[in-house]
Amino acid sequence: MTRGAFRPRLLAPGPVEVPPAVLEALARPVEHHRSPAFVATFARARRRLADVMAVPGDDVLIVTGSGTAGFEAALATAVPRGGTVLALVGGKFGARWAAMAEALGHPVVRVSAPPGGDFDIAVVAERLRATADLAAVTVVHSETSTGVLHDVEAVAAVVRRERPEALVIVDAVTSLAAAELRPREWGLDAVVSGSQKGVMTPPGLAFVWLSERAWAPAVRPAAYYLDLRRERPQQARGQTAYTPAVSLVTGLDVALGMLLEEGPDAVRRRRAALNEALLAAGVALGMSRFAARPSPAVAALAVPAGVSAPDVVRAARARGATLAGGQDELAPTLLRPSLLGYADRYDAVAAAQLLEDALRDVVPATPVGVAVPAALRALDAMA
């Protein structure tokens, strides 16, 4: 198949498109991880990461593994063994953290949000009061399976009010560098993210920030490789406890430099506009917004009644693009296009047309030429 240079390829909330400068960095000769050159790169990447995460530099750690490894590191390092975890479950990722806490031996109490909706803070408050031996609360900021941006600020505030002793552990995997995230002002204790989402690097690295009190010396970490107490003193010196993914760190450093040069606020505005453009294109095609409070990282769109979302995903693939569909029980009805990576206005225009073409492959009566104007109107409204 002949393909143009600028056609849409990865329209998914991770892995995302990676900038050419990052790809170039990934191709450089491998440095030894204890060499002065790599130690400098690692230290700079950590400083840049702290700036992007809006946290003090000393307590951001880079873990080799995907985002899930980062979450496991946070739980295993900070949550006292056997302490109860209140898990806020709004979708697949929230459910994963509940299952992970159970696997690590914690009693788990779940509070659910309706599909596409946010948590009822009054219900969260009631469960907080009712749960004995509460050690931590887990919550997903941008629930990528539903496209909802959960109100983590409100969740953290109610935890601080009702159970100030409980840690607030936040999955910021797709909200980092996409949505406003203020770990210290909101009183969060752990923030976890990963390389293949908003920081536009290939998969394989996770990032964890822990608050001062999350390092309470009395806790015996329930892990070895993912015990962040082994990493913390090493990473403070530009080192790691074990061999890190050297090439990924080198690429990450370049990607973070690009995000900081653009400026975190400008990055968030750009991504919010691109996501609105995808949502507007979908609505113009007869789809509906699934999330009441949409995350800027992913455009959750319910396909029109009678249309199979997996058929649209297959049509997009035949046109050379990976368009994310729904997960689990949302698979038949949901599409989740995303431009979270290296993308601008013209990528949004191309993505809108691809959405229209793929839908028309499945539903021949789909109107022609509606998606791109809708996307452009959304982009201009947010410019």
Ligand X SMILES: *Cc1c(COP(=O)(O)O)cnc(C)c1O
Residues in the chain: 383
Q: Figure out which of the listed residues 8, 10, 12, 14 binds ligand X, where binding follows CB under 6 A.
A: 14
Nearer to ligand X, 124 or 148 (CB): 148
174 part of the interface to ligand X, by CB under 6 A: yes
Nearer to ligand X, 144 or 211 (CB): 144
Stretch that binds ligand X, among 104-112, 171-179, 275-283, 309-317 (CB under 6 A): 171-179
What is the spatial distance between Cα 214 and Cα 78, in angstroms, rounded to a whole number? 5
One symbol per residue from 53 to 92: x for binding ligand X (CB under 6 A), - otherwise; what is it? -------------xxx------------------------
In the complex, the smallest distance separating the C-beta of residue 183 from ligand X, rounded to whole angstroms, is: 16
User: Is residue 295 within the footprint of ligand X (CB under 6 A)?
Assistant: no
Residue 171 interacting with ligand X (CB under 6 A): yes
Instruction: Tell me the site size for ligand X, rule CB under 6 A.
Output: 13
Per CB under 6 A, the list member of 116, 194, 198, 325 interacting with ligand X is 194
* Segment lying near ligand X (by CB under 6 A), choices 136-144, 212-220, 248-256, 270-278: 136-144
Give the residue closest to ligand X by C-beta. Answer: 67
The nearer residue to ligand X, 194 or 341, going by C-beta atoms, is 194
Alpha carbons 157 and 174: distance in angstroms, whole number? 21
User: Is residue 173 involved in binding ligand X (CB under 6 A)?
Assistant: yes
- In the complex with ligand X, which residue's Cβ is closer, 33 or 141? 141
Residue ranges in contact with ligand X by CB under 6 A: 13-14, 66-68, 93, 140, 142, 144, 171, 173-174, 194
